């Protein structure tokens, strides 16, 4: 007859299950913190500034929905592992007889960790050929049968082992599920943040068309790409200013100090009525 299970073994297995559940609780705390950080950093209020008919709006809605649902799904999987699993001896028999216990296919083997464990550790059966043999012997035994208490102890020991192996297997799969959930959640929140916070469109250069800038002090001013068409820069001081790319059609140059310090009147242009120009002198001296 098999050796009976003992209180020390049962206590060790119970402690192992509690350690796994304690780690799962930390997973929940971590997932909650990740979700809070992702949401806090995504600026949810900015989605209200988007046009409902724009693609960015719907990408933002889909991203935040997927992100939060993925985090919630991962947390639900942790809670499922925390829930105590109750095993009957009939469950142990079914696990032993499940094809996954002897299958060489990884996905079949991983599906039935308890059956595989019993196949790989026959000593756990206490000398019996299978859990079904133990079940049959128990069903046929009278209440006062000699050795019945040992048989019951063995069955209880197998139930403890089954609960522990099952929990450890589910916890191992849980880590991959949590990693997938967190990655999917982060991708969703990142998509939301991208869609809900578009970069500001490049502002067009300021326009000073036909502006009256007579005598203006514009020293060191950046006027890159500015539109100065028709502006009057008589007596203006542009020393150190940057007019690279500026439109200077029909500008009035008269006694104008150019960005490089040249006076516009020193470079007379017979083709222009005003008689002077800063063309070619639009950037300061290096």
What tokens were used for 188? 């969703």
Distance between CA 23 and CA 31 in Å, rounded?
12
Identify the bridge partners of residue 237 per DSSP, sorted by sequence position: 217, 257
Which residue has 């060790």 as its token pair? 12
| Residue 202, pLDDT score | 54
Start-to-end CA span in the chain (Å)? 100
Write the pLDDT tens digit of every residue in 104-149.
665 555 568 888 888 888 888 888 998 999 998 888 888 777 778 8
Given pLDDT bands bounded at 50, 70 and 90, which one contains residue 212? Answer: very high
Candidates 216, 224, 257; CA nearest to 243 is 224
CA separation for the pair 153, 102 (Å, rounded): 27
The first and second tokens of residue 52, run together, are: 């409902």
Q: Which residue has the higher pLDDT, 219 or 17?
A: 219
Tokens matching residue 250: 């029909």
Please give the domain boundaries of the chain with CATH numbers for all domains: 7-196 (no CATH), 202-286 (2.160.20.80)
225, two tokens: 């790409």
Q: What is the pLDDT of residues 253-276, one digit of tens each?
A: 989 999 998 898 885 655 544 458
User: The pTM is what?
Assistant: 0.47
């Amino acid at each position: 007859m098999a050796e009976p299970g003992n209180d020390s073994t049962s206590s060790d297995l119970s402690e192992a299950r509690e350690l796994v559940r304690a780690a799962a609780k930390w997973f929940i705390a971590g997932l909650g913190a990740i979700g809070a950080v992702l949401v806090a950093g995504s600026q949810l209020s900015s989605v209200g500034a988007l046009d409902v008919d724009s693609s960015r709006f719907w990408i933002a809605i889909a991203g935040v929905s997927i992100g939060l649902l993925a985090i919630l799904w991962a947390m639900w999987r942790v809670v499922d592992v925390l829930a105590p699993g109750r095993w009957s001896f009939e469950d142990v028999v079914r696990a032993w007889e499940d094809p996954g216990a002897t299958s060489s296919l990884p996905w079949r083997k991983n599906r039935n960790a308890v059956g595989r464990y019993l196949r790989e550790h026959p000593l756990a059966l206490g000398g019996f050929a299978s859990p079904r043999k133990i079940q049959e012997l128990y069903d046929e035994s009278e209440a006062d049968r000699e050795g019945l208490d040992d048989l019951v102890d063995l069955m209880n020991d197998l139930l403890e082992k089954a609960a522990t192996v099952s929990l450890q297997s589910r916890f191992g799969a849980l880590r991959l599920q949590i990693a997938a959930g967190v990655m999917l959640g982060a991708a969703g929140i990142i998509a939301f943040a991208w869609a809900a916070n578009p970069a500001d469109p490049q502002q067009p250069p300021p326009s000073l068309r036909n502006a009256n800038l007579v005598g203006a002090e514009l020293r060191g001013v950046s006027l890159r790409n500015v539109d100065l068409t028709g502006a009057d820069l008589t007596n203006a001081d542009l020393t150190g200013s940057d007019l690279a790319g500026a439109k200077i059609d029909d500008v009035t140059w008269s006694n104008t100090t150019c960005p490089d310090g040249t006076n516009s009147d020193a470079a007379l242009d017979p083709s222009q009525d005003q008689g002077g120009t800063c063309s070619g002198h639009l950037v300061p001296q290096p």
